[in-house]
Amino acid sequence: MSTAPAPRREIPDATVARLPVYLRVLRTLLADGVDVVSSEELAEAAGVRSAGLRRDLSYLGSYGVRGVGYDVARLADEIARELGLTQDRFVAIVGMGNLGHALAAYSGFATRGFEVRWLVDNDPAIVGTQIAERCVVALEELTRQDPDGLIVVIATPPAQAQDVADAVVAMGVRSILNFAPCVLTVPDGVEVRKVDLATELQILAFHEQRGRDDLREVNP
Amino acid sequence: MSTAPAPRREIPDATVARLPVYLRVLRTLLADGVDVVSSEELAEAAGVRSAGLRRDLSYLGSYGVRGVGYDVARLADEIARELGLTQDRFVAIVGMGNLGHALAAYSGFATRGFEVRWLVDNDPAIVGTQIAERCVVALEELTRQDPDGLIVVIATPPAQAQDVADAVVAMGVRSILNFAPCVLTVPDGVEVRKVDLATELQILAFHEQRGRDDLREVNP
DNA sequence: AGGCGCTTGTGAACACCGGCACAAAGTCGC
DNA sequence: GCGACTTTGTGCCGGTGTTCACAAGCGCCT
């Protein structure tokens, strides 16, 4: 089954976080008919330095050709394989409020290889209705499904997020994307990534203030 | 107006990214009537180690009392001040598709001190309509406003994101939160943070695959 | 066939960050 | 007033990530 000798190298987290960006850029290039790209060009398009890009790619193996560059299609395949996108991945969105609703209708998941298969809510008034051409089910229903390759997106109010996390961890889910502004406690082996919109704004606010203060120092 | 001598210390990015979390936890504690908290308790609630928390807070100054802990209200104020939340901050959301729509209706902004003041779209069929009790305006209208303290959220399709960024940078905006899956190029002094949902899923997919591979090694 | 120019892959130095462990400093009880 | 206890703030170190700079390798041209 394995097509390559599997370098089985340890890939740093920082590199893993950038691989999806490279993959997106590569697929854009592919759609534009570009078949070879240099690290300089790819780095420019991905918003990183070329040296860092080459080091990132070196963790995957030696897929570049010196004096030429990287084969776009080949490199895209290798990154997709490393990210585990060769097998099917499914998404369940829990919490059909404003955000969950928007995520259910968001087309960006499907175009990047993720099928939104379950929409979940506990409000009896919502369970059974259709959202984005999919039927909303109760959490109990979800927990009876196969957790293999399933990623759960939590878009509930913060008060219910931990309960949802506990339930899906119990059914065997090991990947959670949390939009609720709260800290989730999960056992080892379960990966949680959080997206907190207000936090992002506050980080921006800090930098904007610092920029203004710096300006004030030279311009009192 | 400055109550403290302004330590003017350099705060590491990693610390800045955690301050909003501390602030959120502190305000929850405050609402529960807790007025003093130890680094151990606060770290537990924030999902970090106590030593790291103390180091983070030490960049703000010495606001703890040895043998006792931190005054919750005082510490929350200091963090809010450091994050620049003492002055009013406004948000403009550009792109009223699924995501923009949900963000406009999302209550989490207001509760964390950000007022969504402008909703923007270029579709003439949408401009002038009401979303979440606010009138949608054209991008031209936004660029005539005062950029001071304004944060622009880009929720357009990727093809238009760079144009929007160029326009708001030209009007003087220095903080952008980008939801479009593309790289934005901006001048120095402009801060861009990106939130890419598909990227987050791909990172989770990688870790899930790695976990499965690791399992296979001991369980062939 | 051989040299030349271009690009990759990586060794090494550097900056950053997280954690341990402990001294400094404050409170509480008597 | 003083000693014991508690908790903060920080010096130090190991690991991680990033950048520079260059040798190695590949294709092209003559």
Model pLDDT for residues B169-211, shown as the tens digit of each residue: 999 999 999 999 999 999 999 999 999 999 999 999 999 998 7
Q: What is the nearest CA distance from A205 to chain B, expressed in angstroms?
A: 6
Counting other chains too, the contacts that B155-159 makes at CB distance below 8 Å and 24 or more residues apart are B155/B93, B155/B94, B155/B95, B155/B96, B155/B97, B155/B99, B155/B100, B155/B103, B155/B179, B155/B180, B156/B94, B156/B95, B156/B97, B156/B100, B156/B180, B157/B95, B157/B97, B158/B182
Radius of gyration of chain B (CA): 21
Q: How far is the CA of B207 from the C1' of D25 (A)?
A: 34
Residue nearest to nucleotide C8 (CA to C1'): A66
* Residue A79 φ then ψ, to 5°: -65, -45
pLDDT confidence tier of residue B212, bands split at 50, 70 and 90:
confident
> Is the pLDDT at B2 greater than 60, yes or no?
no
pLDDT at residue number B210 = 85
The size of chain A, in residues, is: 220
User: Residue B217 has what pLDDT?
Assistant: 54
Neighbours of A109 (CB within 10 A): 20
Q: What is the pLDDT of residue B108?
A: 86
Residue B31 has pLDDT above 70, yes or no: yes
Beta bridge partners of A65: A69
In A187-206, the residues whose Cβ lies within 8 Å of chain B are 189, 191, 193, 195-206
The pair of structure tokens assigned to A125 is: 């008034």
Structure tokens at B206: 């990688």
Dihedral in degrees, nearest 10, Cα atoms A66, A72, A73, A78: 70
Please, are residues A93 and A103 in contact by the beta-carbon 8 Å criterion? yes
Beta-strand pair B89-94/B130-131: unpaired
Q: Can you say whether residue A86 is alpha, beta or left, with left for phi > 0 and alpha for psi between -120 and 50 degrees? A: alpha
Which helix (H) or strand (E) segment holds residue B70: the answer is strand B69-71
pLDDT score of A88:
86
Taking only the tens place, the pLDDT of each residue in B10-20 is: 899 999 999 99
Tokens standing for residue B7: 């330590």
On the question of pLDDT at B5 being above 50, the answer is: no
Two tokens, residue B28: 């929850």
- Of the candidates A91, A183, A201, the beta carbon closest to that of B151 is on A201
What was the pLDDT predicted at B1? 40
Q: Could you tell me if A93 and A106 are in contact, meaning their C-beta atoms sit under 8 angstroms apart?
A: no
Domains delineated in chain A: 13-82 (1.10.10.10), 89-199 (3.40.50.720)
Is any atom of strand C within 7 angstroms of residue A104's beta carbon? Answer: no
User: Residue B76: what residue type?
Assistant: A
Query: What confidence tens digit (pLDDT) does each residue in A95-146 have?
Result: 999 899 999 998 888 889 899 999 999 999 999 999 999 999 999 999 999 9
Structure tokens at B81: 């001040």
- Residue A16, CB, less than 7 Å from strand D? no
C1’ C8 / CA A70, Å: 9
**Closest chain B residue by Cα to residue A152:** B201
Q: For residue B102, which amino acid is it?
A: A
> What is the structure's pLDDT at B122?
95
44-73 in chain A: CB under 8 A from chain B: 45-47
Interval B34-77: pLDDT, tens: 999 999 999 999 999 999 999 999 999 999 999 999 999 999 99
Nucleotide nearest A17, from its CA to each C1'? D17
> In the predicted model, is pLDDT for residue B6 greater than 80?
no
Residue B4 clears pLDDT 80, i.e. is over it: no
Q: Is B129 or A110 the better-scoring residue by pLDDT?
A: B129
What does DSSP assign to residue B11? P
Higher pLDDT, A220 or B135: B135
Lowest-confidence segment of A71-80, B105-114, B124-133, B190-199 by average pLDDT: B105-114
- Residues in A 40-79 whose C-beta is less than 7 A from nucleic strand C are 40, 50-51, 54-55, 57-58, 62-70
Which pLDDT band holds residue A215 (cuts at 50, 70, 90)? low
pLDDT tens digits, A56-100: 999 999 999 999 999 999 999 999 999 999 988 999 999 999 899
Which residues from A are below 8 Å from B191, CB to CB?
204, 207-208, 211
Percent of chain A with pLDDT over 70: 92
Cα–Cα distance, A192 to A194 (Å, whole number): 6
Instruction: Return d(Cα A183, Cα B28) in angstroms, integer.
Output: 12
- Check whether residue A55 has its CB closer than 7 Å to nucleic acid strand D: yes
- A145-154 tens-digit pLDDT: 999 999 999 9
On the question of pLDDT at A40 being above 50, the answer is: yes
Mean pLDDT of B97-115: 90
Point out which residues pair with B90 in neighbouring strands.
Answer: B115, B150
In the stretch 164-183 of chain B, residues with CB closer than 8 A to chain A read 174-177, 181, 183
SS3 B137: strand
Q: How far apart are CA B156 and CA A69, in angstroms?
A: 33
Segment 69-128 of chain B within 8 Å of chain A by CB: 82-85, 87, 89, 91, 98-99, 101-103, 105-106, 108-109, 111-112, 114
Sort B65 into a burial class: Cβ within 10 Å, 0-12 / 13-18 / 19+. Answer: exposed
Cite the DSSP H helix spans in B37-179.
39-46, 50-58, 72-82, 98-105, 108-111, 139-142, 158-170
Contacts for A124 with CB less than 8 Å, ≥ 6 apart: none
Q: For position A4, what pLDDT does the model report?
A: 39
The answer to whether B143 faces chain A, any CB pair under 8 Å, is: no
Pick from B98, B108, B205: CB nearest A102: B98
Poorest-pLDDT segment among A50-54, A77-81, B87-91: B87-91
Nearest neighbour of B205 by CB, restricted to A89, A102, A195: A89
CB A181 within 8 A of CB A199: yes
Query: What confidence score (pLDDT) does residue A180 get?
Result: 96
Task: Please report the pLDDT score of residue B219 as a whole number.
Answer: 57
Which residues of chain A neighbour B181 with C-beta distances below 8 Å?
A: 24, 108, 112
Residue A3 is predicted with a pLDDT of 37
Taking the C-alpha atoms of residue B82 and residue B84, their distance in angstroms, rounded to an integer, is: 5
Q: Measure B48 CA to nearest chain A CA, in Å.
A: 10
Q: Does residue B214 have a pLDDT over 70?
A: no
The closest of B40, B103, B193, B116 to A199, measured between CA atoms, is: B193
- Average pLDDT of the residues in B122-149: 96
Q: Are strands B130-131 and B134-137 parallel, antiparallel or unpaired?
A: antiparallel
Task: Report pLDDT for A214.
Answer: 62
